[in-house]
Amino acid sequence: MPAQKQKRVLTIQDISCVGRCSLTVALPIISAAGIECSILPTAVLSTHTGGFEGYTYRDLTADISPITEHWKSLGLKFDAIYTGYLGSFEQIELVSKIFDEFKAPGGTILIDPVMGDNGSLYTGFTPEFALGMAKLCAKADVILPNLTEAAFMLGEPYRDEYSEEDIKALLLRLYGLGVKEAAITGVTYKSGKLGVAGFDGKKVKTYFNKRIDGYYHGTGDIYASAFLASYMKNGGKLFSAASKAAEFTVACIKAKQKTGGEARYGVPFELCLNKFTGSDDIIVIPTTM
C-alpha cells in the first residue's frame, strides 16, 4: 500500500472569542470533516463586531511574518488555504504572499471576502478595502461572496433586488477579477427561496432552499467552512460543494430555531456536526499525494 496522506488546510481569519463565527466555526467544521486544520489568527476579539458593544480587538498583523518564517523553516505546504475576515490592507498583502509561498502544488485557494451583509459593510470596513479584497481574489481558485460583498468588490451600488440575469452577469464580472470559480450566496430571485449561484468558468448553476426569514449570525462562515470541507473531499466540484454546504447551513439554522437564543451568539452548528461527519460524502478518505 502506498503511504497515505491526510489533507491539510490553513485557514486565516480572526478569533472572535464569543459569538460563533470565523475561526471558532471553521476549525471544528473542517476538523469534523476529517481534514487537518491549521490556523493563522489575524486578530483576537472578545466578541465579533456584529451586535456587541465594547468589544476588544487585538491586531495580530505583527505576528504573521514571524509565524510564517517559522513555517518556511519547516517546509510546510497546505492543500488548501482558506481566508475569511481580514482586518487591514497590510493583512491583504501578507495573505497574498502566503498564497504564493504555502500553497501545495495542485492546492486550492478559497477566499470568503467577509466584509458585510444586507447592503452594508461591517464596522471598520471601507469601499476601498473591498477593492483591495477584489485584487486579492485574482489569486483565488474559488470565492464565496454574498451579494453585498460582490457589489462592493466590483465597485457597484448594492441593489435590493437581483434578477436571475443580474446574478449571471454579476458572476461573470466576479470571474473577470481573475478567479477560477465563484459562488454568490444569499440569492433571492425565486420567491420564497434562498439560494446560491455558482459559475465554474463554463456554466452557471443554482441551488435553492426554502427561505427561512430572520438573521443568523456566522452562517456565512459556516457555509464557507462546510463548502471547503466538501470541495476538498469531492475533488473540487463547485456545484456539489455549494449545495452540500447550503444543506449543512440550513440544518444549523433549523437547530437555532429549536434552541432559540440571541442571534448575535450565532447558530448551534455543534448540534449538526454529527450529520456532517456521518456523511460519506464529506468525510475525507486519506489520499495519496
Residues that bind ligand PXL (CB under 6 A): 14, 16, 21-22, 45, 48-50, 85, 114, 122, 218, 220-221
* Residue written as grid cell 473542517: 30
Closest distance to ligand PXL from the beta carbon of 262 (Å): 14
Give me the least distance between CB of 104 and ligand PXL, in Å please: 26
CB of 207 to ligand PXL, least distance (A): 21
Q: Rounded CA gap, 157 and 159, in Å?
A: 6
Question: And the C-alpha cell for 181?
Answer: 470559480
Would you say 65 or 123 has its CB closer to ligand PXL? 123
CB of 191 to ligand PXL, least distance (A): 27
Q: Which residue, 13 or 243, has its beta carbon nearer to ligand PXL?
A: 13
Q: 153 or 284: whose CB is closer to ligand PXL? A: 153
> Measured between alpha carbons, how far is residue 24 from residues 3, 55, 140 in Å?
32, 17, 23
| Residue 28 C-beta: closest distance to ligand PXL, Å | 15
Closer of 43 and 183 to ligand PXL (Cβ) = 43
Nearer to ligand PXL among residue 107 and residue 113 (C-beta): 113
Distance from C-alpha of 75 to C-alpha of 69, rounded to nearest angstrom: 10
Nearer to ligand PXL among residue 52 and residue 208 (C-beta) = 52
**Neighbour tally for 30: CB within 10 Å:** 25
Q: CB of residue 214 vs ligand PXL: minimum separation in angstroms?
A: 16
Select from 106, 107, 99, 102 the least CA-distant residue to 77: 102
CA distance 270 to 128: 36
